[in-house]
Amino acid sequence: MSATNPYAPPQGAVRDMPGEGLEPADRLMRLLAAVLDGIIAGLMIYVPGLVVALATRAFDQPQGDVDVAVVALPLLVCLAGFVGWAWITILLVARYGQTMGKRLLEIRVVRSDGSSASLGRIFWLRNVVNALLGIIPLYGLIDLLLIFGERRQCIHDLIADTIVIKA
């Protein structure tokens, strides 16, 4: 007589936590990484534009007689800063699954099975779809509060099938 029952339901392993050897990032580290990313973006994009605006006296333009070149220069510097920030961020995310803040704090984004998350998955599912869902009232707050769950995954992590782990 066979020990296996041909009428038994299929059996499968269910993994609610990341694969073996993967340690989820601390909630505080994730928060600090997001804050650092915002500070770094501000320093790279807005501060140079502000310095140029002050140096060219763009804020001292008379109300009716505006010199377009003086006003446009700080905006071009901000645009150049944005391009530089975006380039560095894209390279880090594509190669390591990290933003600048995550890299400084030694955490990174991976798929929930521990494999590398692609740039497209991180950009489209974690960022673009999440931003579109942000029009729903209280979505941002609920997304952030889910970090306190046992799995430490926000809604954008669940959508993209990603987790943030210690690097």
Evaluate whether residue 21 is within a structural domain.
no
Evaluate whether residue 69 is within a structural domain.
yes
Evaluate whether residue 34 is within a structural domain.
yes
Evaluate whether residue 19 is within a structural domain.
no
Evaluate whether residue 18 is within a structural domain.
no
Give residue-wise pLDDT tens across range 69-90.
888 999 999 999 999 999 999 9
* Predicted structure pTM score: 0.81
What residue numbers bound the domain in which 63 lies?
27-166
Number of domains present in the structure of the chain: 1
Which residues, in sequence order, are CB contacts of 120 under 8 Å at separation 6+?
A: none
Evaluate whether residue 126 is within a structural domain.
yes
| Structure tokens given for 147 | 């970090």
Q: What is the DSSP letter of 16?
A: S
Give residue-wise pLDDT tens across range 20-73.
678 999 999 999 999 999 999 999 999 999 999 999 988 887 777 778 888 899
Evaluate whether residue 12 is within a structural domain.
no
Give residue-wise pLDDT tens across range 117-159.
999 999 999 999 999 999 999 999 999 899 998 889 999 999 9
Determine the Cα–Cα distance for residues 45 and 31; give it in Å rounded to an integer.
21
Question: Mean per-residue pLDDT for 91-106?
Answer: 97
